[in-house]
Amino acid sequence: MPLKMGVATVTMNRPPVNSLNTEHLETLHRTFIRLENEKCRGMILTSSSPTVFSAGLDIREMYKPELEKARKFWRTLQDMWLKLYSSPYPTVAAINGHAPAGGCLLSLSCEYRVIVPKVRMGLNETQLGIVAPQWFQDCMRNAIGEREAEKALIAGRMFSSEEALKVGLVDEIAQNKEECIQKAEAFLASQANLPMLARKTVKLGFRHQTLSRLLTGREADTKIFIDYIFQPKVQKGLEMYLQSLSKKAA
């Protein structure tokens, strides 16, 4: 995590697709805490993969899990998201590859998004037979508005880079990762002279409702997750999805 002029670039590096298991989520959470403690001036979130930003939650954490491990997984996801979404420093996602589901959530939790061409992003949970949790939905709604979010979430729509720009899911398209990082740095530079306290207060004001919805209902949210994924038909769906992903590789 190099800090250049107080700006950190956090590069996810969990091959092959940066899927988010408990350990990876813990690493991200610790990183965001450290950045806050070190009074970082801005953060760029990106990926070491040339084709994938993040494939979202690691489906193997939800497929036939032990109950306590599944609970821990979900609480760690909540912790990581609460830290990122409420970060006092400016955040940019340099989306240098596909960003389905939890990968899309990561980018939506940043303040500004730059994407490379020819990749897809969105909350595709419905297509997997699972449901994007309320706070995932809130992040999408906050980015693109009620009507577009409702349509996208019901369909589990994956947007192309161009479609994402058109609907406001991302702020800019860059030609490649290098340009993506340059544009991310330019956004952070545009924020650098703003009084930090005022900036942070306005950001948290906008995000307060979404954050408190989870903060006041964390246990209930965990229970909803557990009850949902332990349903036999949901497990069957996850099994088939995992098989389809593996078959693709074969």
Ligand X SMILES: CCCCC/C=C\C/C=C\C/C=C/C(=O)SCCNC(=O)CCNC(=O)[C@H](O)C(C)(C)COP(=O)(O)OP(=O)(O)OC[C@H]1O[C@@H](n2cnc3c(N)ncnc32)[C@H](O)[C@@H]1OP(=O)(O)O
Size of the site for ligand X (CB under 6 A): 30
Which residues contact residue 158 at a Cβ distance below 8 angstroms, ignoring those fewer than 6 apart?
A: 100, 120, 121, 122, 124
C-beta atoms surrounding 198 within 10 Å:
9
**Per-residue burial over 116-154, b = 16 or more CB atoms within 10 Å of its CB, e = otherwise:** beebbbbbbbeebebbbbebbbbbbbbbbeeebbeebbe
Pick the closer one to ligand X by CB: 191 or 235.
Answer: 235
Nearest residue to 97 via CA among 111, 112, 117: 117
Pick the closer one to ligand X by CB: 155 or 245.
Answer: 245
Site string for ligand X, 127-156 (x = CB under 6 A): -x-xxxx-----------------------
Q: Name the closest residue to ligand X (Cβ).
A: 56
Strand intervals (E) in the chain: 3-4, 7-12, 42-47, 91-95, 99-100, 112-115, 120-122, 159-160, 172-173
Query: Is residue 56 involved in binding ligand X (CB under 6 A)?
Result: yes
Query: Is residue 25 involved in binding ligand X (CB under 6 A)?
Result: no
Binding test (CB under 6 A) with ligand X, winner from 31, 76, 91, 125: 125
- Taking the complex as a whole, the smallest distance from the CB of residue 64 to ligand X amounts, in Å, to 13
- Taking the complex as a whole, the smallest distance from the CB of residue 129 to ligand X amounts, in Å, to 9
C-beta atoms surrounding 214 within 10 Å:
18
Pick the closer one to ligand X by CB: 42 or 100.
Answer: 100
Query: Is residue 57 involved in binding ligand X (CB under 6 A)?
Result: yes
Pick the closer one to ligand X by CB: 32 or 135.
Answer: 135
Q: Specify burial of residue 39 (Cβ count, 10 A radius: 0-12, 13-18, 19+).
A: exposed
Binding test (CB under 6 A) with ligand X, winner from 46, 124, 210, 222: 124
Q: Report the largest interatomic distance among the alpha carbons of the chain, rounded to a whole angstrom.
A: 54
Query: Is residue 206 involved in binding ligand X (CB under 6 A)?
Result: no
Rounded Cα gap, residues 144 and 113, in angstroms: 13
Query: Is residue 12 involved in binding ligand X (CB under 6 A)?
Result: no
Reduce the DSSP state of residue 12 to 3 states and report it. strand
Query: Is residue 240 involved in binding ligand X (CB under 6 A)?
Result: no
- Taking the complex as a whole, the smallest distance from the CB of residue 33 to ligand X amounts, in Å, to 22
Query: Is residue 224 involved in binding ligand X (CB under 6 A)?
Result: yes
Q: Which residues are annotated as catalytic?
A: 57, 102, 124-125
Tokens 């650098």 correspond to what residue?
192
Site for ligand X in 60-119 (CB under 6 A): 60, 98, 100-102
| DSSP letter assigned to residue 111 | S
Which residues are at the interface with ligand X (CB under 6 A)? 16-17, 19, 51-52, 55-60, 98, 100-102, 124-125, 128, 130-133, 224-225, 228-229, 245-246, 248-249
